[in-house]
Amino acid sequence: SEINPWQLKMQPLELVDKYIGSKIYIVMKSDNEIVGTLLEFDDFVNMVLADVTEFAITPEGRRITKLDQILLYGYNITMLVPDGKGPEV
């Protein structure tokens, strides 16, 4: 029989843990979008990412910033997309 994904008993932190070392796409409360490799996270979903690209909307248009590493405060994260590619450039 087919497994219904809603029947899987996985906690949110267990799901995030599966993606350590993988690219993830993150949407922040500020509407900034971030793509990077997940290195670490804690119980509050504060995250350390490497090889980061940040997409921000400014009055002048879209700004793209490349960063080696970043620490994200978990409270400001709206959505995580494992293996996400990020916005179209």
The pLDDT tens digits for 35-81 are 999 999 999 999 999 999 999 988 998 899 999 999 999 999 999 98
Secondary structure E strands in 1-89: 23-28, 33-41, 47-58, 61-72, 77-82
Q: Any alpha helices (H) in the chain, and if so which ranges?
A: 12-17
> Cα–Cα distance between 62 and 51 in angstroms, integer?
19
Range of the domain at 62: 28-82
Any domain includes 5: no
Q: Is 67 helix (H, G, I), strand (E, B) or coil?
A: strand
pLDDT value, residue 5 = 63
What total of structural domains would you count in the chain?
Answer: 1
User: The CATH number of the domain where 73 resides is what?
Assistant: 2.30.30.100
Any domain includes 2: no
Any domain includes 3: no
Any domain includes 7: no
Asked if the model's pLDDT at residue 1 lies above 90, the reply is no
Q: Is 6 helix (H, G, I), strand (E, B) or coil?
A: helix
Asked if the model's pLDDT at residue 9 lies above 80, the reply is no
Any domain includes 43: yes
